[in-house]
Amino acid sequence: MLQNWKDHGKWTVREFLSYVSVSFLGRATNSQDLVEALGLTESANTKLSSLSGGQRRRVDVAAALLGRPSILILDEPTTGFDVHSKISFQNVVRELSADITVLWATHDLVEAESVADRLILLSSGVIAASGSVDELRRIHGGTSKVSWRTQQDGSPHSVEVDDPKPLLVELASDPGTENIEVKTTSLEDLYLSITQESGDVDV
């Protein structure tokens, strides 16, 4: 993915992708298909220098996908994005991950929890922990806080459990229970737990 657009700023999206596709000698993915798949149709004839950050990143991904890779590596891909662009880009990558492996490096723990099926946490270049968020919760003591109220007196109740499912089934079957809420340990909480064990961590 490009770090500098200065040399290509006068090209349109369509021109740039056509140029990149030439280097793949007949095995390139159809650039028009990628333009449509990545939501760039309305920007196809726009100069690269006029694109928003989110649009440029999509063009980056399109260019990377032209060669039909089995793995796509993204390094802090949503840095500088506004909220709308970030969510839109994350959705695009989720769709891509159904067909290829995506490695997404980020220091944004909220983003990591949102997009990743599996996490690898690094400490001083060494893997400190890996697994899904649920697996990391189990391994590193993450719990869920279940809260509810009783209709009889409206009094609040809460309890922390490792697995909330049995309690939720019980509460849901009780007609006298209302306002059931579940708060699980966030990745940020797990991060703090793991850093206490292993030192500073990068995701």
Whether residues 51 and 78 fall in one domain: yes
pTM: 0.67
How far is it, in rounded angstroms, from Cα 181 to Cα 177? 11
In a domain, 90, yes or no: yes
Cβ atoms of 112 and 119 within 8 Å: the answer is yes
In a domain, 99, yes or no: yes
Picking from 88, 117, 146, the residue at the C-terminal end of a domain is 117
Residue type for position 132: S
Picking from 62, 91, 117, the residue at the C-terminal end of a domain is 117
In a domain, 165, yes or no: yes
Tell me: the pLDDT tens digits for 22-35? 877 666 778 888 88
Ranges 60-74, 84-98, 150-164, 183-197: which has the least confidence: 183-197
In a domain, 169, yes or no: yes
- pLDDT score at 203: 53
* Rounded alpha-carbon distances, angstroms, from residue 94 to 37, 41, 101: 12, 19, 10
Please choose, from the candidates 70, 77, 62, 67, the residue with its C-alpha nearest in 3D space to the C-alpha of residue 100: 70
Please choose, from the candidates 22, 13, 6, the residue with its C-alpha nearest in 3D space to the C-alpha of residue 61: 13
Range of the domain at 53: 13-117
Residue with tokens 């990068």: 202
Cβ atoms of 50 and 81 within 8 Å: the answer is no
In this model, does residue 165 exceed pLDDT 60?
Answer: yes
Instruction: For residue 80, give the CATH number of its domain.
Output: 3.40.50.300
In this model, does residue 55 exceed pLDDT 80?
Answer: yes
- pLDDT score at 104: 93
Domain count, the chain: 2
Whether residues 140 and 73 fall in one domain: no
In this model, does residue 4 exceed pLDDT 80?
Answer: no
In a domain, 92, yes or no: yes
Residue with tokens 């840095």: 79
How far is it, in rounded angstroms, from Cα 167 to Cα 29? 50
- pLDDT score at 83: 84
What value does the mean pLDDT of the chain take?
84
Cβ atoms of 61 and 72 within 8 Å: the answer is yes
Whether residues 140 and 94 fall in one domain: no
Q: Where is pLDDT greater, at 147 or 89? A: 147
Tell me: the pLDDT tens digits for 91-115? 888 888 888 899 999 988 889 988 9
SS (H, E, C) 138-193: HHCCCCEEEEEEECCCCCEEEEEECCCHHHHHHHHCCCCEEEEEEEECCHHHHHHH
